[in-house]
């Protein structure tokens, strides 16, 4: 006697792979014979296929053990993610879903894992972008003020823009400039870039003295610096990119 085939059940989940929070879909498949992990090349969705009678912990451990492979495949996904309803975007390193609330009052607000956007459909992308730039400006100004005080230096101005070539820069005049896309990265990355540019108020070159100053106000800066080197290009997948814009260099 044959039992009726059970249905495939899919549940969203998150894994932390090399310090990066990655959204995965757990697919409980009655027909699967073994645990498999795939990265769908079209949109970079990570799927963990779990056969019947398999402990979830075992499937997750398998996926985590394949973390470097998953991240490598994700890095090869060239797909752009527009700021559109239903899109998943990172804010401070955590994935949120854009939820269009056409009937609601207001502009843009957070509700847990949702980024809610009111108003007409045609305004969603610009509203999300404007909101992210506003968040970036506030976070960067806070971080710059903090590290400037730590170091006892002054800063002339803080500008946030869609920088073409740098995550941050510091002019001899004391004017600092940053990419708004830092708000997409884990908080330590934004903080590190702020500390880096503030440290240039004491030492303009990237000399050993400069890196000593960075380490003084941001111990452990190597990790966010490496994150930016490894994942920085990912931040450019989200929203529109200016025509001809180059990828920023690490600061």
Q: Residues binding Zn ion: what is the number (CB under 5 A)?
A: 1
Q: How far is the CB of 60 from Zn ion (least distance, A)?
A: 39
Residue-by-residue DSSP string for 6-70: PPPEEEEEEEEETTEEEEEEEEE-TT--S-EEEEETTTTEEEEEE-TT--HHHHHHHHHHTHHHH
Q: How far is the CB of 200 from Zn ion (least distance, A)?
A: 6
Q: How far is the CB of 213 from Zn ion (least distance, A)?
A: 11
Q: How far is the CB of 166 from Zn ion (least distance, A)?
A: 8
Q: How far is the CB of 191 from Zn ion (least distance, A)?
A: 15
What is the strand order of the sheet 108-111 is part of?
88-91, 94-101, 114-118, 108-111
The residue length of the chain stands at 251
Site for Zn ion in 192-251 (CB under 5 A): 251
Identify which of residues 87 and 171 has a Cβ nearer to Zn ion in the complex. Answer: 171
Distance CA 116, CA 34 (A): 39
Identify which of residues 100 and 200 has a Cβ nearer to Zn ion in the complex. Answer: 200
Helix (H, G, I), strand (E, B) or coil at 165: coil
Q: How far is the CB of 242 from Zn ion (least distance, A)?
A: 22
Site for Zn ion in 28-87 (CB under 5 A): none
* Phi (first) and psi of residue 84, to 5 degrees: -125, 160
Q: How far is the CB of 150 from Zn ion (least distance, A)?
A: 17
Identify which of residues 248 and 251 has a Cβ nearer to Zn ion in the complex. Answer: 251
Identify which of residues 119 and 251 has a Cβ nearer to Zn ion in the complex. Answer: 251
Gyration radius from the chain CA atoms: 21
Identify which of residues 44 and 251 has a Cβ nearer to Zn ion in the complex. Answer: 251
Identify which of residues 224 and 251 has a Cβ nearer to Zn ion in the complex. Answer: 251
Identify which of residues 22 and 193 has a Cβ nearer to Zn ion in the complex. Answer: 193
**What residue number has its CB nearest to Zn ion?**
251
Angle at which helices 67-75 and 56-65 pack, to 10 degrees? 60
Tokens for 70?
């998953």
Give CA separation, 79 vs 31, 87, 166, 240, in Å: 30, 12, 22, 12
Site for Zn ion in 89-118 (CB under 5 A): none
Q: How far does CA 81 lie from the centroid of its chain?
A: 12
Residues 107 and 127 sit within 8 Å (Cβ to Cβ): yes
Site residues for Zn ion per CB under 5 A: 251
């Amino acid at each position: 006697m044959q039992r009726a085939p059970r249905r495939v059940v899919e549940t969203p989940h998150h894994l932390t792979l090399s310090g990066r929070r990655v959204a995965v879909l757990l697919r409980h498949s009655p027909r699967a014979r073994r645990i498999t992990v795939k990265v769908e090349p079209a949109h970079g969705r990570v799927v963990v296929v779990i056969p019947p009678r398999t402990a979830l912990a075992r499937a997750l451990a398998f996926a985590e053990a394949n973390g470097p492979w998953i991240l490598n495949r994700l890095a090869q996904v060239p797909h752009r993610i527009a700021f559109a309803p239903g899109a998943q975007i990172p804010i401070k390193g955590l994935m949120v879903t854009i939820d269009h609330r056409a009937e609601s009052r207001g502009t843009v607000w957070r509700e847990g894992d949702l980024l809610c956007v009111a108003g007409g459909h045609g305004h969603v992308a610009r509203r999300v972008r404007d909101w992210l730039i506003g968040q970036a400006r506030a976070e960067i100004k806070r971080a710059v003020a903090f590290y400037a005080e730590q170091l006892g230096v002054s800063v002339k101005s803080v500008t946030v823009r869609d920088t073409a070539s740098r995550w941050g820069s510091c002019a001899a005049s004391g004017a600092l400039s940053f990419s708004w896309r830092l708000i997409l990265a884990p908080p330590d990355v934004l903080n590190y870039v702020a500390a880096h540019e503030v440290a240039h108020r004491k030492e303009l070159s990237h000399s050993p003295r400069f890196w000593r100053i960075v380490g003084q106000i941001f111990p452990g800066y190597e990790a966010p610096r490496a994150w930016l080197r490894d994942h920085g290009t990912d931040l450019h997948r989200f929203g529109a990119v200016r025509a001809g814009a180059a990828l920023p260099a690490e600061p």
